[in-house]
Structure 1
Amino acid sequence: MKPVSRRRTPWPAAALALALGVSLTACGANPPGAVDAVQRSASGVRVDLRQPLDPALHARLPARNRASGTLVSVNNGSFPPYEIVGDDGRSLTGATADLGVALGHVLGVRIKDVSADGLPTQLTGIKAGRFDFALGPIGDFKDRQGSDDFVDWVQEFVVFAVPKGNPDHLRSLADTCGHRIAVMSGGSAEKVVKDQVRKCAARGDRPLRVQSYKDQPSSVLAVRSGRADAFFSSQSPLTYFVAQAKDQLQLAGVGEANGFSTLYQGAVVGKGSPLGGVLRDAIQRLMDNGTYQKIMEKWGLKGNEIKKAGINLAVS
């Protein structure tokens, strides 16, 4: 699938501090009615995404972005509850979408969204300069910091989505030997599960079979259809998918380390890019004025909040 542009409406030159109009298209889809269900659950929280322009932050943007008046943000197209593609296949909602609108106001630029399949494609595109950043959130790990900088704005936990009743009795990563585990291709969970493959072999246990998929919906479908025994991924999107599965799925391994220490996630920029510091300070502004907290509450992510945005917070 070719990258698909999702362009937020340009800011009028004389009114940078007014609201952005958003027109979005995206690759991928979610189960029918999924968007409505999330929006109903979040309907009690109202968030005003309009923000005053910060001239100092605007002045710190890279010169080419100030000249063009745009920032190009790449994403995977479907990562609920952060990015939720509408039933029409075009509209986009979610915590990341809301945060992006608010950041556009603060920075005084148009944010042009582009969907690209898979994390490797996104990271390669950022490194090549085709995209300015990915708002994510994407997992921050020490071994990734050598080639990219991470502007962390949430914390996350990694668990399993399993069939209702947990027939294989998966309680933690240690229980995965002999099972078929779905993961997203190129993600941090894939690396951890592949490490577990070697551990299973080293102790003479039954082999662990890793199934890598390009996105969350494909991975969930593998479990629901019986092609995989579990999907190993971030707790926030798995909670969303379990809720949509209507008693077909449940979470397992909650509260366990599952191969991870404290897991930070955030935006990704090229190594050493001045955009990293600008995004950190713009996100912190939204944290300080309460907009960030309202967005997180709206999308059921209060448990994933952090108090201070940072760059490359991961230590392992």
Structure 2
Amino acid sequence: MLSRRTFAASLAALAAAPLLSACGGDSDAATGTGGSGTKKVGNINIGPDQNRIRGKKVDEIAALVPAAIRKRGTLRLGQSADSSPPLGFFATDDKTRIGSEIDLASLVADTLGLRLDNDEVSWENLFVGLDSGKFDAVFSNVTVTEERKEKYDFATYRLDNIAFEAQKGTSWRVREPKDVAGRTIAVSSGTNQEKILVDWSKQDEKAGLKPVDIKYFQKETDYYLALQSGRIDAYLGPSPSAAYHVASAGQTQVIGTLSGAGDQIQGKIAATTKKDSGLVDAYAAAIDHVIKDGSYARVLKRWGLSSEAVTKSEINPKGLPKT
């Protein structure tokens, strides 16, 4: 497992190193310290003093929360302890949890009139915590699936997308399989991204086009080094990670996005709670409220995730099919 700051620090190092083919001006987005002492990667604040966007209690929405939780006054939240900028990672003090997921969860808790009680655990223990009642909710990049819907309720708050990232300035765009024919593209082994890319390559071959030259590397930073040196044309990975790298380094661009579930369904990320806990309606109403008042959009923009915004929270929508 990556240390708390490994990935963020690695991206910071990449941000400071100009792409081999980039113009001189592109190297300005280096890690630095502003006049107030705030640590930044590009324009993204990764210091402990976040000045987080906050909300206000809405009585009619707070009334939807079960009485026992209202009396307790806290929202017991589970989040993954993994370092995954910009979703969830640790600030430069190595102890303050920051990222888009904690920001959005804070907005929801504020709207519900609850104090956030956040706990970072391993991925599998997020669901153990929900099952045992340790957590009221999980805000941690959980995709809605038909299998998970058997045990949990969902209120969506973000799209689940993957992205092709290439050097800044390229006119190449990816919208369908033929756009990657003959290209050299890196992807992580064993991921949904790999499955989609392999399927697209097969479709290209059936259409009489060149297959994709798929490359694999050991570390996430290795993909970006290969991109800098021109050994690959693009890297296919999670859209949030690509957005963070683009915003922090300023030397690459997203040239195409698609659902992390593939061509058949749009994947969706949701606040997760134990089935029939009575909380999902409150979550959905709170999410709808912060969407309408604009604070939701401000959070996503802050972390470079505006392209994954939803216009309304859906309760238990169609999820990824069972395998």
TM-score by length of 2: 0.64
User: Which of residues 149, 163, 175 in structure 1 aligns to 2:153?
Assistant: 149
2:70 is equivalent to residue 97 of structure 1: no
The alpha-carbon distance between structure 1 residues 289 and 210, as it changes in their structure 2 partners (threshold 3 A), is same
User: Which of residues 301, 306, 317 in structure 2 aligns to 1:313?
Assistant: 317
The alpha-carbon distance between structure 1 residues 150 and 79, as it changes in their structure 2 partners (threshold 3 A), is farther
2:80 corresponds in structure 1 to 75
- Segments of 4+ moved more than 4 angstroms: 26-29, 162-166, 169-180, 195-211, 225-231, 255-258
Superposition CA RMSD, Å: 4.2
* Structure 1 residue 277: Cα displacement: 1.6
1:238 corresponds in structure 2 to 242
1:129 corresponds in structure 2 to 133
The alpha-carbon distance between structure 1 residues 58 and 111, as it changes in their structure 2 partners (threshold 3 A), is farther
1:193 corresponds in structure 2 to 194
2:188 corresponds in structure 1 to 182
* Structure 1 residue 94: Cα displacement: 3.5
2:254 corresponds in structure 1 to 251
1:19-30 mapped onto 2 (5 Å cutoff) = 30=8
- Unpaired stretches in structure 1, ≥5 consecutive residues: 2-25, 41-45
The share of aligned pairs that are identical, in percent, is: 17
Deviations 1:191-239 (A, max 9, x none): 453466588789897996777x9xxxx53x2413559966533323312
1:284 corresponds in structure 2 to 288
* Structure-2 separation of matches of 1:312 and 1:93: 27
* Structure 1 residue 279: Cα displacement: 0.9
The alpha-carbon distance between structure 1 residues 59 and 268, as it changes in their structure 2 partners (threshold 3 A), is closer
* Structure-2 separation of matches of 1:87 and 1:206: 39
More off after superposition, 122-131 vs 169-178: 169-178
* Structure 1 residue 145: Cα displacement: 2.4
Larger radius of gyration: 2
The alpha-carbon distance between structure 1 residues 180 and 301, as it changes in their structure 2 partners (threshold 3 A), is closer
* Structure 1 residue 176: Cα displacement: 8.9
* Structure-1 separation of matches of 2:215 and 2:150: 29
Instruction: Note if contact 2:77-2:135 (Cα within 8 Å) is conserved in structure 1.
Output: yes
Amino acid at match of 2:110: H
* Structure-2 separation of matches of 1:98 and 1:263: 21
1:20 corresponds in structure 2 to none
Helix, strand or coil at the partner of 1:311: coil
The alpha-carbon distance between structure 1 residues 50 and 56, as it changes in their structure 2 partners (threshold 3 A), is closer
TM-score by length of 1: 0.65
2:115 is equivalent to residue 116 of structure 1: no
The alpha-carbon distance between structure 1 residues 239 and 288, as it changes in their structure 2 partners (threshold 3 A), is closer
The alpha-carbon distance between structure 1 residues 77 and 161, as it changes in their structure 2 partners (threshold 3 A), is same
Helix, strand or coil at the partner of 1:151: strand
- Unpaired stretches in structure 2, ≥5 consecutive residues: 13-30, 33-38, 46-50
Q: Between Structure 1 and Structure 2, how many residues are aligned? A: 273
Helix, strand or coil at the partner of 1:112: strand
